[in-house]
Amino acid sequence: MKDPEHGEVPSESGASAAGRGEARKHASRGGKGKRRRRKPSGSPPAIASRSGEAGEAGRPAAMDEAEPARKRKRRRRSKSARPQNEPAAAASGGDVPLLHATVTGKKSHRRSGKARHRRGLQGRPLASAGKPPATPRPGESQRPRGAETAPPQPPQQPRSEKVSAPYVAPSEPPSPFYAALDLGTNNCRLLVAQPTRPGQFRVVDAFSRIVRLGEGLGASGRLSDDAMERSVEALKICAAKLNTRSIRRRRLIATEAARSAANGETFLKRVAEETGLELEIINRETEARLAVSGCSSLVDRETKSVVLFDIGGGSSEIAVIRIGENRSSRLANHITHWTSLPVGVVTLSERHGGEHVTPQSFETMVREVEDMLAAFDSPSVDALASGTDSGFHLIGTSGTVTTLAGVHLDLPRYDRRRVDGLWLSDDEVSAMQARLLSWDFAARAANPCIGPDRADLVLAGCAILEAIRRRWPSTRMRVADRGLREGLLTDMMADDGAWRRARPRRHQRSFGPPPAGEERLKSHEGNNA
């Protein structure tokens, strides 16, 4: 028998090695074979010596029974301690440099002690760190003994310090972006969102600015040059925000001001030329349905009937919702009656004055809206509130009701998270309206939840709210700081199946689709009419 390093090995060593191999063979059969005992010999047992690894030369024959396991452990320790820039020969079975003796640890110190004298336990010299490894004879394998239990490892590449982008699995593409823009009579609003959990989305960007597009519309029937200029400047900001992201689908709408103005179409052509945004004018029924879709999560599952209203700048939409036993995934499908009043906070304040409002002028505004509601054929409040489990209540989505909620909470600064979804009793709403009516224009402008831009509009909105409360008396009202933009996003994501394509993660258990209308919105700019 030949040793890869030192040539011939005495025959006694070969016989004892064969005996040990046979014993190991029987031991690997799970104890079924009988272990062969080695005859005692007067001569000292020959010990195989290897210089393949520093400090590994020479072990007693009694320790050879556990040799494969030890070798595997040593190989793992040596690989983990090997420097990254070490030559590939060390990993493929060649001589390992004596640099391994510098690895920290007690065993490393023992190895360095053996290597210091350059001799093993049998007195044979070890490989020198400065000399090249011994060249094996032709026909001999370069793999070390016991390598059949662990295949040779490829040479390790030095670790790169370059930081790469996070890996995204092809089966999990990033969520697309959806955008919704609402150009109203008073405000220009934009939302950019991503669908998340079924029925929910996350707002990633938002914009809101008071532009008063409908200023002077009631008297002249046309959009003024100043109002159009303010609106175009705001739309340019929205276009810049949209151009910074890859939007999968977007819907840009214009409501009452562009709908009723004689030069509304001309204005939208100018917007397309200067900003690149193509706006569509929606009808009043679509506007009412979008308002309901945006507030669907605020209707409890136990509620059977709701009157939802959206007090805008040039019009006010009202929808009667009656939910039966089979609730649809879209709350707008349960609208039984709806109307759109051609009056809003801008048009009403221009007719009756918004800066100086007296109790008499406030009552005049309320009666004007009541006359409009008288022509609306809808179920009575007794029919809506019939039954012990009807849960009838009002839902208001506009700057008027959010302002009342902010004043009620005495907020030092408007906070949508505290306002959206807030319940107000009938007495609390009456107290807030009386409080605002007692303030003059300067006091309203100084309030942080109103500000100078809305100080002349808030009482006109309260007059519209009062007329609705008189038509449908309710003990409670829920405040919604959301509206058309949220309805647009919800409808687009539902139409595209953005939530149906989502799959639960492997480590999560799926309990089926969530209840209808459970979307939750992150904090963004308020829904000011």
Q: Are 394 and 472 in contact (CB under 8 A)?
A: yes
Query: Cα 156 vs. chain centroid, distance in angstroms?
Result: 38
Query: Cα 383 vs. chain centroid, distance in angstroms?
Result: 43
Closest CA to 294 of 402, 172, 199, 434: 199
Q: State pTM to two decimals.
A: 0.63
Angle 421-422-428 from CA coordinates, rounded to 5°? 150
- Report the C-alpha gap between 365 and 312 in whole angstroms: 15
Query: Cα 405 vs. chain centroid, distance in angstroms?
Result: 29
Per-residue pLDDT of the chain (529 residues; tens, 9 = 90+): 444 444 444 444 444 444 454 544 444 444 444 455 554 544 444 444 444 444 444 455 545 555 677 777 777 777 665 555 444 444 444 444 433 434 444 444 455 444 445 555 555 555 544 445 555 454 444 444 444 444 555 555 444 444 333 333 444 456 689 999 999 999 999 999 999 887 788 999 999 999 999 999 988 999 999 999 999 999 999 999 999 999 999 999 999 999 999 999 999 999 999 999 999 999 999 999 999 998 988 888 888 899 999 999 999 999 999 987 778 878 888 999 999 999 999 999 999 999 999 999 999 999 999 999 999 998 888 888 876 567 899 999 988 999 999 999 999 999 999 999 999 999 999 999 999 999 999 999 999 999 999 999 999 999 999 999 999 999 999 999 988 999 999 999 988 888 875 444 444 443 444 444 334 444 344 454 5
Strand order in the sheet with 423-425: 335-341, 316-322, 305-311, 393-396, 476-479, 423-425
